[in-house]
Amino acid sequence: MTPAVPELVIFDHDGVLVDSEIIAMELLSIMATDHGRPTSTDEAFDRYLGTSFDFVMDDLRSTGAAIDRDALYDSFHADLFEGFRTRLQPVPGIPELLGALVAAGRPLAIASSGSRDRVHLGTSSTAIDLFFRGSPVITANDVERGKPFPDLFLAAAERAGIAPDRCLVIEDSPFGVEAAHRAGMTAVGLAHRTPAENLHEADHVVTSVAEIWPLVGLSDVVAAE
């Protein structure tokens, strides 16, 4: 059940705050194909969305491919970060929602399976980092286990000093929804690029950021996109 007014709103980064998933999945589809698992961009969304880089590496190793994890990590992130610098945009409606939450004095956090550098570049290149000044930003560098484990979300709640059952998570992947539930939090599935049916386990499934406003206690504000 959604808290009437959640005390902490936790945002995933990729696919929720910034429209980065299409860039990442294009690159992962090429990487997987090059390592013996022919994969389209759509298939990469189904297989890898919301997972960690090490999950991808383990998946590719299962094909018997020789994997140099560090070399692939460096190559992938070099290409990804170039895409962030040249192509990345906020998810439509996110700047308006963040601005309204900050104006209302509502605590925010980020919890991402991505690296600290990835989240920093994503938020700074889209100018939404200003909404998270002083807020918890938890990344793969801060926990031992990524999603679907609950560690990222629990760390965000602990750092904010707010009980998990008073938190609402906005996610775009089944792994993220599972992690939110395992943390004892309400999960909103944002079907921006993710098919809505893939998010059916979420407490609420929305197809636009405008639908999130009443779920975070901003029902009296007109959401403009």
- The answer to whether 216 and 187 are in contact (CB under 8 A) is no
pLDDT of residue 58: 92
State the Cα–Cα distance between residues 170 and 177, nearest whole angstrom.
8
**Strand 108-111 versus strand 8-11 pairing type:** parallel
Q: Mark whether 56 and 98 lie in a shared domain.
A: no
The first and second tokens of residue 122, run together, are: 């994503």
Q: Mark whether 117 and 203 lie in a shared domain.
A: yes
Q: Mark whether 158 and 195 lie in a shared domain.
A: yes
- Per-position DSSP letters for the chain, written without gaps between them: ---SS-SEEEE-SBTTTB--HHHHHHHHHHHHHHTT----HHHHHHHHTT--HHHHHHHHHTTT----HHHHHHHHHHHHHHHHHHH--BPTTHHHHHHHHHHTT--EEEE-SS-HHHHHHHHHHTT-GGGGTTS-EE-TTT-S--TTSSHHHHHHHHHHT--GGGEEEEESSHHHHHHHHHTT-EEEEE-SSS-GGGGTTSSEEESSGGGGGGGGT-TTS----
Domain boundary among 43, 66, 87: 87
User: Domain total for the chain?
Assistant: 2
- The answer to whether 219 and 213 are in contact (CB under 8 A) is yes
Q: Mark whether 62 and 123 lie in a shared domain.
A: no
pLDDT of residue 225: 42
Q: What is the CATH number of the domain that holds 64?
A: 1.10.150
The answer to whether position 1 is within a domain reads no
pLDDT tens digits, 166-214: 999 999 999 999 999 999 999 999 999 888 999 999 999 999 999 999 9
pLDDT of residue 220: 55
The answer to whether position 221 is within a domain reads no
For the whole model, what pTM was predicted?
Answer: 0.84
State the Cα–Cα distance between residues 173 and 185, nearest whole angstrom.
15
Domain of 197? 8-19+90-216
pLDDT of residue 21: 85
The first and second tokens of residue 95, run together, are: 């700047």
| Segments of the chain scoring below 50 in pLDDT | 1, 222-225
